[in-house]
């Protein structure tokens, strides 16, 4: 768990909605309530979470971030709540993240990936303010501020039942939405200049400006990877720049513009950077979920509508649930 100490000073942007977001985040720093941050990848969710923590009363206590997608689900419970020796083969006495974060903040990234049952257990911990280690008998009182993030639109997660509504409402006391960069195009220049300075310093370079054409090029792009992607583009431009003192349009290496490709699905596929298998699998899951919904969850009717055998559908549903 690598910790970089980010504060509000690191959050750059002048766009009106962004300024409002930061204002609300600063209010959150004066409170003790849970925080729910939604936003696509690279929009600054972690930065916001850390900034809130390090501006809050808890700043001298731990800030711990755990990505729920990074661990096999059978380990996640023990990691969060701790384990007791002998509770399962190989289990040792170990405190979980809740105990480690005592007095501080625990950020649960991609909380929607957490298995449904575990989401229920988490809710109980948040409601009762104590944890019980896996296999343990004692209730351990905890004082931990919870923050959670999601990368997908909240209504989708709630609709598909990937995030428990009760858990969402419990954490979403303060709700913050980090907007994608394409919705704050007016900040591209400010951010690009900021990253230029930062990477100039890091690389001992003397590149003082970005040419007008280079800026135009930066503004024409839609940044599926958001601010992280913009930073990477500037970082690589700085290290590869041909001119000693300016970044030119040739230095800005942006993934080819895909607008000339007629088929939207192909554009989406290329942008996703996923394998064909994963991409098609996700579309398949979406279609199955939607069809299930229109058939009120009836598996036989859904299978018929999809032109597949009931067993095949059940197999696919089980597989999707395990993901």
Ligand X SMILES: Nc1ncnc2c1ncn2[C@@H]1O[C@H](COP(=O)(O)OP(=O)(O)OP(=O)(O)O)[C@@H](O)[C@H]1O
Binding residues for ligand X, per CB under 6 A? 10-13, 39, 41-47, 151, 178, 227-228, 231
When CB distances to ligand X are compared, the closest residue is 44
- For the CB of residue 6, give the shortest distance to ligand X in the complex, in Å: 8
Dist. CA 119–CA 11, nearest whole Å: 31
Q: How many CB atoms are located within 10 Å of the residue 61 CB? A: 17
Dist. CA 204–CA 218, nearest whole Å: 23
Of the candidate residues 18, 21, 40, 46, the single one contacting Mg ion (CB under 5 A): 46
Nearer to Mg ion, 77 or 109 (CB): 109
Q: Which does 11 bind (CB under 5 to 8 A by kind): Mg ion, ligand X, none?
A: ligand X
Q: Which does 13 bind (CB under 5 to 8 A by kind): ligand X, Mg ion, none?
A: ligand X
Nearer to Mg ion, 46 or 187 (CB): 46
Binding segment for Mg ion (CB under 5 A), chosen from 11-19, 38-46, 92-100, 300-308, is 38-46
When CB distances to Mg ion are compared, the closest residue is 46
Secondary structure of residue 124 in the 3-state scheme: helix
| Contact call for residue 110 and Mg ion (CB under 5 A) | no
Binding segment for Mg ion (CB under 5 A), chosen from 1-9, 42-50, 124-132, 209-217, is 42-50
Q: Where are the beta strands (DSSP E) in the chain?
A: 35-38, 63-67, 105-109, 130-131, 140-141, 145-150, 174-177, 209-210, 246-247
Dist. CA 38–CA 48, nearest whole Å: 11
- For the CB of residue 111, give the shortest distance to Mg ion in the complex, in Å: 12
- For the CB of residue 210, give the shortest distance to ligand X in the complex, in Å: 16
Q: Which does 82 bind (CB under 5 to 8 A by kind): ligand X, Mg ion, none?
A: none
Please check whether residue 189 is in contact with residue 73, taking contact to mean a CB–CB distance below 8 angstroms: no
Dist. CA 38–CA 25, nearest whole Å: 13
Question: DSSP string spanning 148-178?
Answer: EEESS-HHHHHHTTSS-HHHHHHHTTEEEEP
| Contact call for residue 251 and Mg ion (CB under 5 A) | no
Between vectors from CA 158 to CA 155 and to CA 163, what angle results, nearest 5°? 130
Total of residues contacting Mg ion (CB under 5 A):
1
Nearer to ligand X, 43 or 83 (CB): 43
* Beta pairing, strands 246-247 & 209-210: parallel
Q: Which does 147 bind (CB under 5 to 8 A by kind): ligand X, Mg ion, none?
A: none
């Amino acid at each position: 768990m690598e910790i970089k100490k980010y504060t509000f000073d690191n959050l750059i942007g002048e766009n009106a909605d962004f300024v409002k977001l930061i204002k609300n985040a600063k209010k959150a720093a004066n409170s003790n309530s849970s925080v729910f941050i939604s936003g696509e990848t690279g929009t600054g969710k972690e930065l916001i979470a850390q900034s809130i923590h390090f501006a809050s009363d808890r700043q001298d206590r731990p800030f711990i971030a755990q990505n729920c997608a990074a661990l096999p689900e059978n380990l996640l419970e023990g990691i969060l709540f701790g384990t007791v020796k002998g509770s399962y083969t190989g289990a040792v006495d170990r405190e979980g993240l809740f105990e480690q974060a005592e007095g501080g903040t625990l950020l649960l990234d991609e909380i929607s990936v957490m298995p449904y049952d575990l989401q229920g257990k988490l809710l109980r911990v948040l409601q009762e303010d104590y944890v019980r280690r896996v296999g343990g008998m004692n209730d351990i009182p905890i004082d931990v501020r919870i923050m959670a993030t999601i990368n997908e639109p909240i209504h989708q997660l709630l609709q598909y039942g990937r995030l428990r509504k009760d858990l969402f409402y419990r954490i979403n006391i303060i709700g913050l939405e980090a907007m994608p960069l394409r919705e704050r195009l007016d900040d591209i220049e400010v951010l690009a200049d900021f990253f230029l300075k930062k990477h100039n310093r890091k690389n001992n370079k003397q590149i003082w400006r970005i040419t007008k054409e280079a800026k135009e090029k930066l503004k024409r792009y839609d940044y599926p990877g958001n601010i992280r992607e913009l930073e990477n583009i500037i970082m690589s431009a700085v290290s590869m720049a041909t001119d000693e003192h300016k970044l030119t349009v040739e230095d800005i290496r942006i993934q080819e513009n895909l607008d000339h490709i007629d088929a939207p699905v192909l554009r989406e596929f290329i942008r996703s950077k996923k394998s064909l298998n994963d991409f098609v699998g996700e579309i398949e899951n979406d279609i199955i979920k939607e069809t299930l919904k229109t058939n009120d969850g009836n598996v036989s009717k859904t299978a018929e509508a999809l032109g597949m055998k009931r067993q095949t559908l059940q197999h696919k549903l089980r597989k999707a649930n395990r993901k």
